[in-house]
Amino acid sequence: MQTSELPDLAHTHARPTHWLATAAAMAGVIALAGLAQPDAATATDPAAGAAAARSATAPAPDAATAAYPLNCAGIPTATPRTATGDLDGDGLPETVAAAHCRAGSGTPPQGLYVLTHAKGDTKGARVVATLVDPADALTVGGLAIRDGVVTATLLGYSSTDVPRCCPDKRETVEWRWSGGTFLRATATDR
């Protein structure tokens, strides 16, 4: 039998530059693997996951479709401020709306209302709670929902001598759903 001699191949002899190149390539792979780590594992309640899925697909109630308990004598209503979020933990968003009669001038008092979807209708909205009654002669200066808590800046008047254009009282309040009702607290009471 004849044996043939194999040629001397350059890549079969390891040199220091080959080892350095291999080490650099491995360091790059390890660095990239470190950046591509999965998120930390968390345990979730299956019901909470289903609620989150419903919340992601369900639109918040449209404040323009609600019938507010305002006596506007035929004048349309306005909703200058709205905020949306899940207030009762059911996974579906609610809308909080500041509403007033559309006045030609001045600063009409506002009501602050919690809206949910009308029964059997995902497009219409219905008022389910009143947080601020228009009879309180307040205006909502700011409105937000975060982590199920409604926060509003309420503007008012210290006396009837203060012009209705220029509120001189300011209070930041919060409402949290608890025990089937909205509990009110000043923002500093946290």
Q: How many domains does the chain have?
A: 1
In a domain, 159, yes or no: yes
Q: Is residue 148 part of a domain?
A: yes
∠ CA 23-29-34, nearest 5°, is 125
In a domain, 72, yes or no: yes
Average pLDDT over residues 127-147: 95
**Domain-located, residue 36:** no
Residues 59-89: tens digit of each pLDDT: 999 999 999 999 888 889 999 999 999 999 9
Contact 129, 114 (CB under 8 A): yes
Which range of residues forms the domain containing residue 173? 60-189
Residue 31 domain-assigned (yes or no): no
175 domain residue, yes or no: yes
Q: Which residue has the tokens 């660095």?
A: 31
Least confident of 23-32, 62-71, 117-126, 135-144: 23-32
Whether pLDDT at 15 is above 50: yes
Q: Which residues contact 82 (CB under 8 A, 6 or more apart)?
A: 63, 95, 96, 97, 98, 143
Burial of 125 per CB tally in 10 Å (0-12, 13-18, 19+): buried
Decide if 182 is inside a domain: yes
pLDDT at 46 over 80: no
Which pTM value belongs to this model?
0.68
SS3 of 68-100: the string is CCCCCCCCCEEEEEEEEECCCCCCCCEEEEEEE
Distance, CA of 17 to CA of 89 (rounded, Å): 62
64 alpha carbon, distance to own chain's centre: 19
Q: Is residue 176 part of a domain?
A: yes
